[in-house]
Amino acid sequence: MPDIPRENPKNNLGNAWANLPTGDRDANLRRAIECYEAALRVRTKRDYPQEHAQTTANLRSAREAVDRLDEGGGSSDDFFERL
C-alpha cells in the first residue's frame, strides 16, 4: 500500500463544497464532484478499499443531487444527511 495519508484533501474539499450553505447550489455540487473524482485517482480501490468506497458514495450522492436540481426536482438537501 502506498505511503500516503488516508485522509485525502480532495475528498475533504469535496465534502466542504457539497455542504457549503451559500452560493449557487448546482455549481457547488459540481465542484464537489470534481474533487471526489480527483480523490478517487489517489484513493484507489486496490490500495484503499474502504476510503474508495466512501468517496464513491459521496460522488454518487453529489451526482444524484445535481440530477435532481437539473430535473427541477427541488431541494438537494438530503445530500447533507448522507455525508
Q: Is 1 exposed, middle or buried (0-12, 13-18, 19+ CB in 10 A)?
A: exposed
Q: Mean pLDDT throughout 34-57?
A: 94
- List the chain domain ranges: 9-82
Mean pLDDT over 37-65 rounds to 95
Average pLDDT, rounded, for the chain: 86
Q: What percentage of the chain exceeds 90 in pLDDT?
A: 72
* Mean pLDDT on 38-65: 95
Euclidean distance between CA atoms 15 and 82, whole angstroms: 11
For the chain, state the CA radius of gyration: 13
* Residue 2 φ/ψ, nearest 5 degrees: -60, 150
pLDDT at 3 > cutoff 60: no
pLDDT of residue 8: 82
The pTM score is 0.81
